[in-house]
């Protein structure tokens, strides 16, 4: 019987599954998971841990505002430096890499560069003293005259910190490839020799005093990426993403405001939101009828236009990380993101574009099954987790999981699979003794597979003995009514491969959904890893 060939493969299958099941819940390996950092600036230090926890494990690194500059260009530690926050982040496996800022003060930035040897040592001493993980250098509003000094400063910081600490540089977006002005102060190629990554500030396409327009249009962002790739390898590029927008009264304004605050105003005043297909950004028009305070000030009465990145806009930007295989993303700033951002952010960042599994109870298992090549979407951006799994899909998933070579059964094959998309997989599963038909030479490939049918399939593969210390009996499962499937159900339940419902029922005739199938494959992975 071909089943013996299947059993001989289980040892190698167990090794494969063991390796896969050790992956993180995000379902991507450490080598392929995209990097994600965020700046922490607004709000009280007491709120920072809550900001981070709201990301549900999405962050690898945070950059709080701990390093400023004194008037002579020496290092100034800010009042926000918080040992408890640093410890809390490390307990969560998150690096703390504070950013060094001159807050757009050109004179102060130049003093820092003039004082660069001493400043680099001061940074290294502060990093060591406060158990920090490096520094994010964010000195802005310099120009081409400062380019070489800027690069030399980053070199000195790298030498002072050593290889085991992070050195990041926030650089101006440069979609037009300018060598003068603020973008001209950054020598991308030279900086990348000393920095772990360059964080492209791909925002502020609009600014205070500009005409109303997107904070970061799709073309602006993509062209900024293309310029960076002409100078630096993709694995050193972190794409900066705005968690804020700007608002105008008529054509006047452009002041920044958190995206979460924009959404609050939209809801409160029944604002109208439009998505601009050209810039791939959101525009909201809100008639504010009473004075509104927000973190950046006060908005008086009037009809305002807000440009910001809502979920749709953010997803476009995240897709660019995959398109160009960048290192990952950075965001300004944590706590300002639109509601629900962390339901999809890590999924899209890592190339999982199913838009119907965010927040689903089986989300992690679905992504795990996709990553292993066992299950895919049903077209477009849909996985349809609550649709039933068909018998053809089940056979295909098991053939993929076992890495079985294509084969044909000896004797008669199923007459209803000719021309079917899964014909080869079905015939292979039949050849290896995993499946049998429903009678009269039929397999019924497009009918839903039931829980008892799946139990029998898995029982044929696993060939498990009953665990007498973990026997499980179900109210609706007895040998008289389920003569062909009863023993398989009991064996798998005793081995925790299959489980029943809290009410004591197994529901053997119930269809298995695609989500349940993904979870079942995860459970099998854990079983083989434990062997």
The three-class DSSP label of residue 252 is strand
Return the bridge partners of 286, or none.
304
- The DSSP-derived string for 183-195 is GGG--HHHHHTT-
What letter would DSSP give residue 338? P
Q: End-to-end CA distance of the chain, in Å?
A: 25
Distance CA 128, CA 399 (A): 53
Distance CA 351, CA 33 (A): 10
- Considering only CA atoms, give the Rg of the chain: 28
- Active-site residue set: 140
8 A C-beta contact, residue 123 and residue 160: yes
Distance CA 336, CA 501 (A): 41
The two counts, helices (H) then strands (E), for the chain are: 17, 18
Q: Are strands 75-77 and 134-138 parallel, antiparallel or unpaired?
A: unpaired
Contacts for 523 with CB less than 8 Å, ≥ 6 apart: 496, 497
Q: Are strands 237-242 and 197-201 parallel, antiparallel or unpaired?
A: parallel
Q: Are strands 67-69 and 75-77 parallel, antiparallel or unpaired?
A: antiparallel
């Amino acid at each position: 019987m071909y089943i013996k060939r299947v059993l001989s493969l289980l040892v190698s299958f167990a090794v494969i599954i063991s390796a896969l099941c050790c992956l993180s819940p995000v379902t991507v390996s450490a080598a392929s998971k995209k990097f994600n950092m965020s700046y922490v600036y607004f709000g009280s230090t007491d709120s920072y841990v809550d900001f981070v926890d709201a990301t549900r494990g999405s962050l690898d690194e945070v950059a709080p505002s701990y390093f400023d500059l004194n008037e002579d260009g020496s290092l100034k530690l800010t009042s926000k430096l918080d040992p408890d926050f640093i410890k809390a982040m490390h307990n969560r496996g998150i690096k703390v890499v504070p950013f060094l800022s001159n807050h757009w003060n050109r004179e102060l930035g130049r003093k820092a560069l003039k004082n660069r040897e001493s400043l680099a040592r001061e940074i290294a001493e502060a990093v060591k003293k406060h158990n920090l993980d490096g520094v994010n250098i964010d000195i802005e509003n310099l120009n081409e005259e400062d380019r070489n000094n800027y690069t030399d400063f980053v070199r000195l910081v790298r030498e002072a910190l050593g290889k085991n600490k992070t050195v990041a540089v926030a650089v101006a977006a440069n979609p037009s490839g300018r060598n003068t002005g603020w973008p001209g102060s950054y020598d991308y190629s030279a900086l990348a020799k000393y920095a772990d990554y360059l964080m492209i500030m791909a925002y502020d396409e609009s600014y205070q005093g500009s005409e109303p327009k997107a904070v970061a249009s799709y073309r602006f962002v993509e062209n900024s990426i293309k310029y960076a790739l002409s100078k630096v390898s993709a694995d050193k590029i972190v794409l900066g993403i705005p968690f804020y927008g700007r608002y105008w009264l008529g054509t006047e304004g452009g002041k920044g405001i958190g995206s979460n605050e924009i959404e609050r105003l939209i809801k409160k005043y029944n604002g109208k939101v439009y998505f601009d297909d050209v810039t791939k950004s959101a525009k909201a028009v809100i008639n504010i009828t009473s004075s509104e305070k927000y973190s950046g000030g006060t908005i008086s009465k009037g009809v305002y236009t807000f440009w910001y990145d809502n979920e749709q806009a953010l997803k476009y930007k995240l897709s660019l990380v995959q398109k160009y295989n960048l290192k990952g993303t950075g965001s300004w700033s944590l706590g300002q993101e639109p509601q629900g951002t962390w339901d999809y952010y890590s999924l899209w960042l890592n190339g999982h574009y199913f838009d119907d599994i965010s927040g689903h109870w089986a989300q992690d298992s679905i992504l795990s099954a996709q990553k292993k090549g066992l299950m895919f979407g049903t077209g477009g951006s849909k996985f349809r987790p609550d649709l039933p799994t068909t018998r053809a899909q089940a056979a295909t998933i098991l053939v993929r999981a076992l890495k079985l070579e294509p084969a044909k059964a000896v004797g008669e094959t199923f007459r209803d699979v000719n021309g079917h998309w899964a014909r080869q997989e079905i015939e292979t599963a039949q050849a290896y003794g995993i499946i049998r038909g429903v009678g009269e030479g039929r397999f019924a490939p497009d009918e839903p597979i039931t829980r008892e049918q799946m139990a029998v399939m898995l029982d044929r593969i696993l060939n498990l003995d009953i665990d007498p210390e973990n026997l499980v009996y179900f109210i609706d499962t007895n040998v008289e009514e389920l003569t062909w499937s009863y023993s398989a159900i009991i064996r798998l339940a005793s081995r925790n491969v299959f489980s029943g419902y809290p009410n004591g029922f197994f529901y053997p005739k119930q269809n298995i959904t695609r989500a349940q199938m993904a979870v079942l494959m995860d459970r099998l992975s854990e079983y083989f890893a434990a062997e």
